Structure 1
Amino acid sequence: MSALLEVEGLTAGYGAAPVLHDVSLSVQPGQIVAVLGANGAGKSTLLRTLSGLLPATSGRVTFDGQDLRGVRVERMVHLGIAHVPEGRGVVTELTVDENLRLGGLWRKPQPPLEPIYELFPRLAERRGHLGHQLSGGERQMLAIGRALAAQPRLLLLDEPSLGLAPKITAQIMGLLRDLRDRTGLAVLLVEQNVRSALSIADQGVVLSLGRIVTRHDAATLVDDADLRHAYLGF
């Protein structure tokens, strides 16, 4: 099977200081790949570069065979890539319903929101509430829901569990697994909660100081005690 996302020799950073060094990885259709590592490893920089928010210094990124160099951020969405950055960015002055409609605004006709509300019953209960009236978990659900409203094929998801209670984290991880199984959505997941990420991931990529130190299926990473202690903190 051909990779949906292919990253080869990617180097990127801020100004003259590279953060990522010669990073190569791939994501297959319907696969969850977890990007793991300590703070400062370059995980968020990787997602920002893949979504076009940060230019690459060198290397090649292709999505479904199309070279993404020079592709504008808004075009990425049209191609089928959705990025949920760290921080649960929602428009706090808009309602839940209005935030979700923003996600599919470019599609004509706009996709129905009911499938999103079926995924997130709590959002259905809060659909008329403003963003600033939501809890942290509800905002994370809304950020993911808005990305899904664009009907992506690849979801770039940055630290979805940050600051959330374990119960909410488990719900979100379960949702990602269900989406992969039911719809074939591919997910590149950056996550500090290593156990949660590996519990749903097909493969794991471990970054250290901007370089990939290992790539394995999730079960192998869980079973490798030396690797876990050295890079993953458990």
Structure 2
Amino acid sequence: MTTDALLAVDGLVAGYGAAPVLHAVDLTVAPGTIVAVVGANGAGKTTLLRALSGMLRPSDGRITLAGEDLRGVPVEQLVRRGMAHVPEGRGVVGELTVDENLRLGGLWRRDRADAARALDEVYQLFPPLARRRRHLGHQLSGGERQMLALGRALVGRPRLLLLDEPSLGLAPRVVAQTMALLRRLRDDTGLTVFLVEQNVRSALRIADQGVVMALGRVVTTAPAARLRDDAELRHAYLGF
């Protein structure tokens, strides 16, 4: 396990009921990088995110964030320690306005002035949200809802952003914009991104590191560029 990793996972076992989905998963995520977790449906990618963010209790193994053991830490405390999770489906509250949705991301913060600055920064990052700040969540397009879900996470100023299928259901142009934004956040703010994505080409194009999963296990971890260029591995596990 790398001592300077922001996120480190060692021997993680997790699942639902008596059936494990993850089997002794080991991985590390360096600060200020984008790590793309790829693999076929059923590989355990979403289960891994749920275990990391406290939504699913592992049955074995260890997860540390900046050296702190996260076993038994409540979800709300994980957020305070710098972890944000944007689940598949985006999770926008349709009955609340854009502004109210974004403010939810900073409710726990004691520094109200900085929370207000973070809100302004999100509006600068996503101009369409600024124009629609009084609209309800259910009135937004799919791309705008993705912006809103990302923006709400960013209002909390996370160190580690967990993203589950951010391109799901989006037009190719919006997917490209989303991926470019993640790369910009890494470059400009040092944000660490742990990305689960079915759009393998897009994910590996922006990632620093790739993690390939199959049947609940990590098959290989390598620089994203190497995974893109390894035809044998792509054909075996990624389907292209």
Length-normalised TM-score, structure 2? 0.96
| Residue of 154, 159, 166 corresponding to 1:160 | 166
> What secondary structure does 1:167 align onto?
helix
Which amino acid in the other structure matches residue 165 of structure 1? A
Give runs of ≥4 in structure 1 deviating > 6 Å.
none
1:64 maps onto 2:70 in alignment: no
Once residues 73 and 93 of structure 2 are traced to their aligned partners in structure 1, the CA distance between those partners, rounded to angstroms, is 25
2:43 aligned partner: 41
How many aligned residue pairs are there? 234
Coordinate RMSD, CA, aligned: 0.7
1:102 maps onto 2:104 in alignment: yes
Once residues 141 and 23 of structure 1 are traced to their aligned partners in structure 2, the CA distance between those partners, rounded to angstroms, is 31
| Residue of 189, 193, 198 corresponding to 1:192 | 198
2:76 aligned partner: 74
| Residue of 222, 226, 231 corresponding to 2:228 | 222
Per-residue deviation, 1:114 = 1.0
1:13 maps onto 2:19 in alignment: no
Per-residue deviation, 1:185 = 0.4
> What secondary structure does 1:69 align onto?
coil
> What secondary structure does 1:25 align onto?
strand
> What CA deviation, in whole Å up to 9, does each residue of 1:70-112 have, x standing for no partner?
0000000000000000001111000000000000011123312
Once residues 139 and 194 of structure 2 are traced to their aligned partners in structure 1, the CA distance between those partners, rounded to angstroms, is 29
Per-residue deviation, 1:233 = 1.2
1:140 maps onto 2:140 in alignment: no
2:187 aligned partner: 181
1:54 aligned partner: 56
Per-residue deviation, 1:195 = 0.5
Which amino acid in the other structure matches residue 170 of structure 2? L
> What CA deviation, in whole Å up to 9, does each residue of 1:134-189 have, x standing for no partner?
01111011001000011100000000000000000010100000000011000100
Once residues 173 and 194 of structure 2 are traced to their aligned partners in structure 1, the CA distance between those partners, rounded to angstroms, is 22
Length-normalised TM-score, structure 1? 0.99
Once residues 157 and 75 of structure 2 are traced to their aligned partners in structure 1, the CA distance between those partners, rounded to angstroms, is 16
Gap runs ≥5 in structure 2? none
1:231 aligned partner: 237
1:169 aligned partner: 175
1:121 maps onto 2:123 in alignment: no
> What secondary structure does 1:70 align onto?
coil
Gap runs ≥5 in structure 1? none
Moved more, 102-111 or 156-165: 102-111
Once residues 40 and 147 of structure 2 are traced to their aligned partners in structure 1, the CA distance between those partners, rounded to angstroms, is 25
Which amino acid in the other structure matches residue 34 of structure 1? A
Matches within 5 A, 1:83-102: 83-102=85-104
Once residues 209 and 128 of structure 2 are traced to their aligned partners in structure 1, the CA distance between those partners, rounded to angstroms, is 30
Once residues 7 and 151 of structure 2 are traced to their aligned partners in structure 1, the CA distance between those partners, rounded to angstroms, is 22
Once residues 132 and 53 of structure 2 are traced to their aligned partners in structure 1, the CA distance between those partners, rounded to angstroms, is 30
Once residues 21 and 108 of structure 1 are traced to their aligned partners in structure 2, the CA distance between those partners, rounded to angstroms, is 39
Once residues 176 and 10 of structure 1 are traced to their aligned partners in structure 2, the CA distance between those partners, rounded to angstroms, is 27
Identity of aligned residues (%): 73
1:29 maps onto 2:31 in alignment: yes
